[in-house]
Structure 1
Amino acid sequence: MKPTQALNEAGQSLWLDNITRALLDEGILDRYIAEYSVTESMPTRWQGSCSARARTPS
C-alpha cells in the first residue's frame, strides 16, 4: 500500500492547491487523484471556474 493511500484510508487528505490548466489538459490531475489519493482544493469552486472558462472564448 502506498503511504498516500494509507493516509487516505486513515481519514487524512492530501490537498493540491496549485492546479494549473496543464494539470487538467494533460490528465495529470486525474493521475494524481488515482495514484496518490490527492484531493483537489475546493472542488466545487474549481468546477465552477472551469465551467466559466469553457464558455469564455480564448
Structure 2
Amino acid sequence: MFTSDFKQKVQAAEAKTNSRSEVISFLKKQKGEQLNCKTSTTIVEQSRDYMVAKVTQSINTYK
C-alpha cells in the first residue's frame, strides 16, 4: 500500500511526520470505526514519484 520510504506529513497546530509503520498501525486500529463527519480529499500536486493531498474532515451537524 505504501512504499518503504513513505512518510505522512500532517500540518496542524504543530507539524508532525509519521512513518510508514505508524500510519499502517493507525489504520489497523481504525478498522470498523465509523466517524460522524464529512471527508473531502483534494489532490494538490501529483507527479510520478509523489502526491500531495489535502484531506479535510468536518463534523456533521444536525438541526
Please indicate the TM-score interval, normalised by the length of the shorter structure: under 0.3
Higher strand fraction (1 or 2): 2
Q: Which has the larger radius of gyration?
A: 2
TM-score in terms of structure 1 length: 0.23
Tell me: higher relative CO, structure 1 or 2? Use CA pairs within 8 A at least 6 residues apart.
1
Higher helix fraction (1 or 2): 1
TM-score in terms of structure 2 length: 0.22
